[in-house]
Structure 1
Amino acid sequence: MATNAVVGTSLSMRSLLPQTLAFTSISGPRSALVSSFGRKNVSFSLQPSSIRLRISCAAKAKPETVEKVCDIVKKQLAVPEGQTVSAESKFATLGADSLDTVEIVMALEEQFGIAIEEESAQAITTVQDAADLIEEIVLKKSS
């Protein structure tokens, strides 16, 4: 996981008037700002601010993990023979309600010998999400 800091600038203007000022044009030989009220001598206060970005690059799960998850989902949802379940399949599209999703998570925990936290379980919407989470938990467990 990488963390980058980006520095931005916030712009604020003090005004004696209760209205919000908008800047409509740049004019004159020295390119002075002109406010919506016609003021040319406008002062600004620049203050630095920081923004933190978190970038997470999760690895895709192994194909055999995805296949096992597909099999469990097919079994739990009693998916008909002709209907395919792939990594991109969404549980809701396959007809799963919230109880079905809980049962799928329980079956995954049993099959892989892991425990999935409730918050993580609620974020699972596709077979790929489930497989990626399983790989992440198994990796942490083996470390």
Structure 2
Amino acid sequence: MASIAGSSALSFAMPVKAINSNSLAFSPVRKGNTFLRLQPVPMRSVSCAAKKDTVDKVCEIVKKQLALPDHTEVCGESKFSELGADSLDTVLANSLQVEIVMGLEEHFDISVEESSAQTIATVEDAADLIDKLVAVKA
């Protein structure tokens, strides 16, 4: 455990790569000194990537709703604009977009608000949103 003395001269007992407010703890010592003690904090990884099965199902629904040929590849990085659906930001303006959103809502038993649909540009974006909505619903 690394310690930093609270005097005018600071010294590190070991190299510190990164310090954030969650990894610091102040503990006053009764002898009049105050020490800043670095405590290990478990690393947390936050992934925005949707589950593979969600991405696969969104690809399937999009391909069906847009009536894309079998040889057309649809993956997480596929942009709706490249698939012929412009984007999902104008959901009510294009019947194809409405059909895609309705298909996703029906399959995943969720409700996608128009403001949320405005952020969707790729299949991965749609899958991320679906995973979030499903998690909130659970």
TM-score by length of 2: 0.59
Q: How far is 1:102 from its partner?
A: 2.0
Q: How far is 1:89 from its partner?
A: 0.3
The residue type equivalent to 1:73 in the other structure is V
Verify: 1:70 aligned to 2:59, yes or no: yes
Q: How far is 1:82 from its partner?
A: 1.2
Structure with a larger share of its residues in helix: 2
Q: How far is 1:96 from its partner?
A: 1.1
Matching of residues 102-117 of structure 1 within 5 Å: 102-117=98-113
SS of the equivalent of 1:60 reads: coil
Per-residue deviation, residues 33-53 of structure 1 (Å, max 9, x unmatched): xxxxxxxxxxxxxxxxxxxxx
Larger CA Rg, structure 1 vs 2:
1
Verify: 1:125 aligned to 2:114, yes or no: no
Please identify runs of 4+ aligned residues in structure 1 that moved more than 3 A.
none
Specify every segment of 5 or more residues in structure 2 that has no aligned partner in the other structure, as ranges. Answer: 1-20, 22-45
Specify every segment of 5 or more residues in structure 1 that has no aligned partner in the other structure, as ranges. Answer: 5-56
TM-score by length of 1: 0.57
**In 2, distance between residues paired with 1:76 and 1:67?**
14
Structure with a larger share of its residues in strand: 1
Per-residue deviation, residues 41-94 of structure 1 (Å, max 9, x unmatched): xxxxxxxxxxxxxxxx65211100000000000000011111100000011101
**In 1, distance between residues paired with 2:123 and 2:130?**
11
SS of the equivalent of 1:123 reads: coil
**In 1, distance between residues paired with 2:102 and 2:70?**
23
